Chain A
Amino acid sequence: MRNHEEFVNEIYNRKETYLRNKKKTRKNIITFSIPFVLVAVLYSVMILPAMMPAGSEGTPNYEESTTVAADEFSHLTEVFTEPATSVKQPSLNSSPTSAAHSVPSDETAPTRPPEAVKPTTVSPEIFIELDRAEYKTDDKITLSITDTANVGFGYSKFVDLFEANGGEWVLKPNNHPKPAIAYEALPSSMRDEITVSFEIDLGEYENLKPSTQYKITINIEKQSYEAYFTVTE
């Protein structure tokens, strides 16, 4: 057994060791927790808002961004209100409408999509454009989707092609799986807008009729966006 002096010395030694270890532990905790905190902060500030669905209340500056975007893309909205038969310019705007209402009932106007004249329903966040207004049956269409920021979402959607037929839009089957768009949007705080382009090969669709109007629809965030073109000889 230790004598008194040794005993007291041992107490002080252990005190020093204890304090040293405590300091070391605290330092380690801080060292290891800082990266975690940073990641959590970055995740909540940058990634989470980007994952919010478009138009949700959690999206920062949503009100402001929609107004700005609506002003910025107003020319596209106007273009879209014109009858589809008169469209000659390559830029065709999208119009989000309910997919259930995408088939017109007016048989007398097969070349004019009835839902095209609804500028009030145009969402300012997403626009789809075709590179031309007329294509040949074996052409490739370049479709661009512009997301005007602050919506921030990633999506993977399929494209449908409809043919105007006696006042109705008839879905054209594709020889291959439907063309799909996929992109991961950047966090809204890191971009102003994002445009994604991809090609649709008309050669994959059988029996496209010349001088007939066609419609491309893409469903994004529960809304249908459309663009129109005509197939020529």
Chain B
Amino acid sequence: MDNGASSYRRFLDGDEAAFDLVVREYREPLIFFISRYVHDTSAAEDIAIDVFMYILVHPKRYNFKVSLKTYLFMLGRSRAVDFLRRQKKLLPLEEAVTAEDYISLENIILADQRRKTVNEAVLKLNTDMQAAVHLVYFEGLTYEETARVMKKSKKQVDNLLYRAKKELRTILGKEGEELL
């Protein structure tokens, strides 16, 4: 699996339909990931549109050194952080405004019950831990890729995940031990 790189290459070669494939493949994971930061699905969707628009306007800026998924998540995270910064200046962010959308996304991304249970616990962690757990366990990125997306070192990601697991064990209790 090339994480959409081949579709993107075809898009660079002028195949418009390939871009459609890229969007189809990454739209929901990206929105779900961004909503970890912004806690608002419609805002996350808006940011995701901006991310795809960016790669559409600046196609040559992706250099294939990282997977397309990592690249999209990097762009998504930086825009989400910008969004939060702007929101902070304006009004306090309302949490999970569009709960229904979030649940539908959760159903798509976290297909099985086991993952959903873990996600409920994950939501109680801080944003960085949530993002790290999300990228590694739900999106299957490597530590290196996660570090790139989060603009942290591999060691920092390692530490974040270690602490996240510890907290998750406390939250989930003995029953949750098996889920992790």
Contact = CB atoms under 8 A, between A and B. Distances in A.
A8 interface: yes
B33 interface: no
7 residue pairs, one from A and one from B, having the closest CB atoms: A1-B101, A14-B53, A11-B52, A11-B53, A15-B56, A15-B53, A10-B49
Contacts of A11: 23, 49, 52-53, 56
Nearest to B44: A1
Interface residues of A, number: 12
Given A1-B101, A4-B23, A18 B45 contact: no
- Per DSSP, are chain B's interface residues mostly helix, strand or loop, or mixed? helix
A14 B27 CA distance: 16
A14 B52 CA distance: 10
Contacts of B50: 14
B113 to A, nearest CB: 23
A8 B20 contact: yes
B3 interface: no
B interface bracket (residues with beta carbon within 8 Å of A): 10 to 19
Contacts, number: 34
Given A7-B27, A8-B20, A8-B23, A1 B98 contact: yes
A222 interface: no
A1 B49 contact: no
Most chain B Cβ neighbours within 10 Å, of A11, A12, A18: A11
A19 interface: yes
A19 B105 CA distance: 31
Most chain B Cβ neighbours within 10 Å, of A8, A18, A19: A8
A84 B56 CA distance: 89
Contacts of B31: 1
A18 B57 contact: yes
A151 to B, nearest CB: 56
B117 interface: no
Nearest to A1: B101
Contacts of B98: 1
30 contacts: A1-B31, A1-B41, A1-B42, A1-B45, A1-B98, A1-B101, A1-B104, A2-B45, A4-B23, A4-B24, A4-B27, A7-B23, A7-B27, A7-B45, A7-B49, A8-B20, A8-B23, A10-B49, A11-B23, A11-B49, A11-B52, A11-B53, A11-B56, A14-B49, A14-B50, A14-B53, A15-B53, A15-B56, A18-B53, A19-B57
